[in-house]
Amino acid sequence: MDGNVKFYSCYLKKTITLEHISEQKSSAINSRQRKGILGIDYTREFGSYFLSWGFCGSIFVYALEVSLAKGYTGKYKEHGGNLVAAKFLKSFPYVLSFDDRLSMRIWDFRKLTTMQVINC
C-alpha cells in the first residue's frame, strides 16, 4: 500500500471497503465484528496497518501488506467495556484506546500486549 490515494470506509453492515482512487477499484474486507463497525484508524509508519473496533471490547488489527482481502493479524481484547475510540500513536508502535468504563490503554499493536492501563 503506497501513496495517499486510498480511502477507507466502514459501515454498519460489517464490511470495510478500501477504495483505490487512482486505480478506480475497491477491495472489501469482511470484518470480524458481530455488531458492526464503530470506527477505524490507519498507519503507514510500521507497515500498512489498520484497526477496526465496534460495539464490544475488542479491537481488530489488519496488516494490509500481507493481503488486501485477508490481512487479519489479531484481536486485542483487554478492555472490559465497549470501545469508544482507538488511535495509532505517531512514531511509536503503540495504540491508545478508550472504553466506556473510563479505562485508557496503551498497547503494542504488533504483539497485542498491554504497555500501560490508566483508569479514570
> pLDDT by residue (tens digit) across 6-24?
656 666 667 777 776 666 6
Which range of 7-11, 68-72, 108-112 scores highest in mean pLDDT? It is 108-112
CA-based Rg of the chain, rounded to a whole angstrom? 14
Q: Rounded CA gap, 79 and 28, in Å?
A: 27
Residue with C-alpha cell 484497526? Answer: 51
pLDDT at 89 over 90: yes
Residue with C-alpha cell 479491537? Answer: 59
Determine the average pLDDT of the residues in 58-81: 84
For 6-119, give the CATH class: mainly beta
Contacts of 95 (CB under 8 A, 6+ apart): 41, 51, 59, 76, 86, 87, 88, 89, 106, 107, 108, 109
pLDDT of residue 13: 66
pTM of the complete model: 0.82
Strand pairing of 83-88 and 94-99?
Answer: antiparallel
